[in-house]
Amino acid sequence: MHVNESAENYLETILILSKSHPVVRSVDIAEELGFKKSSVSVAMKNLREKNHITVTKEGFIYLTESGREIAEMIYERHELLSGWLATLGVDPKVAVEDACRIEHVISKESFEAIKRFVSSVYQKSEK
């Protein structure tokens, strides 16, 4: 299920947009990411060929099971890492930028260890 960083970003963007838009279209993704529609179209073709998305004849984009799995993994990493870095005192904007880079390269093992650590710290602070 390994995909490149660009594909992960597109899948994560589709997931995020689907939370606030009734339907997601290529133009929505292009606007969100600041990319040309032609670049997004090429990326959507690649994601469709890898069965990570489906596109209706109206141009509505939906994540497949595999696409959703990847998108949710990246989104979880992004949310946890950016929040954790901000809690450590990193400027929120920098925390988001750093999390965006880290989320693609961190191993599953390291992320799970950070997740356990962060979880245990929050449980202790709630007592």
Q: What is the pLDDT of residues 8-50, one digit of tens each?
A: 999 999 999 999 999 999 999 999 999 999 999 999 999 999 9
Q: Cα dist. 115→40, 45, 63, 101, 121 in Å?
A: 32, 34, 25, 17, 10
Cβ pair 53, 43 in contact under 8 A: no
CATH at residue 38:
1.10.10.10
Q: What is the band of 125 on the pLDDT scale with cuts at 50, 70, 90? A: low
> What is the rounded distance in angstroms from the CA atom of residue 127 to the CA atom of residue 110?
26
Length of the chain: 127
Check whether 115 has a pLDDT greater than 90. yes
The residues with which 55 forms a beta bridge, in sequence order, are 61
- The string of pLDDT tens digits covering residues 61-97 is 999 999 999 999 999 999 999 999 999 999 999 999 9
Residues 12 and 60 in one domain: yes
Give the residue with greater pLDDT, 103 vs 3.
103
Structural domain including 122 reads: 70-126
Residue 95, Ramachandran bin (φ over 0: left; ψ between -120 and 50: alpha; else beta): alpha
Number of domains the chain is built from? 2
Say what the pTM is.
0.88
CATH at residue 79:
1.10.60.10
What DSSP element (H or E) covers 54? strand 53-55
